[in-house]
A and B are shown apart, each in its own frame.
Chain A
Amino acid sequence: MSVTDVLAAVLLLVGTGLFVVAAIGLHRFTDLYGRMHAATKPATLGLLLVLAAAALRVDSADDVGKLALIGFFQLATAPVAAHLLGRSAYRGRVPIDVTAGIDDLGTLERDSSGVGDDAS
């Protein structure tokens, strides 16, 4: 086990451990919006660590390029997916656990209605 193998092993274990943290977070948070934090952030970081571990172990350069591509795609798409999910959930009246966080958009709409892009 050369040095890069040991480093790849450590990165891999930390990355997969982060996935377990993400899965546990899905159960621990009280409402959907809290769970979105758990499902996106540690999972994306865990995936990036696994890809870094793979980059250390893979031999040809264009494979490292593919891994960088996957990492970039994940970093670019995860926020968009979470945002769209949260937006459609909020529009679908998914309840917010007020003990966990206040509904900023709700207070915004109630005070000056018509602020949102299509707030009726």
Chain B
Amino acid sequence: MTVVAIIAFSLLAVAAVLAVARLMRPGTLPDRLLGLDLLVLISVAALGTHVVWTGSGEFLDVLVVAALLGFVGTVFIAGLIQDRPR
């Protein structure tokens, strides 16, 4: 099970690096917001793989909160950048 977890974590690491690379590339502000939203989802999935690896449910509350915070953050910033000229 640890080998599977190592593979899963490395896949998530590759996805996280690509998402951060998205922030670096030239693009509009919403592009960066997408990268950050994906980063939050990747961190939630990393917690999920930890739960799968250890089989213990103590981190599940963190997962619930993290999933919701990602959403609230994206919605809040999307509201902020609505009227700003690009």
Contacts and interface: CB of A to CB of B under 8 A. Distances in A.
A74 B45 CA distance: 12
Please indicate which of the listed interface residues A8, A32, A54, A59 has the most CB atoms of chain B within 10 Å of its own CB.
Answer: A54
Size category of the A interface is 35 or more
Nearest to A5: B1
Main secondary structure of the interface of B (DSSP, over half): helix
Nearest to B42: A19
Interface residues of B, number: 54
A80 B86 contact: no
A60 B48 contact: no
Contact of A70 (B19, B64, B79): B64
Contact of B68 (A26, A54, A73, A91): A73
Interface of A: 1, 5, 8-9, 12-13, 15-17, 19-20, 22-24, 26-27, 32, 35-36, 39, 43-44, 46-47, 50-51, 53-54, 57-60, 62-63, 66-67, 69-70, 73-74, 77-78, 80-81, 84-85, 87-89, 91-94
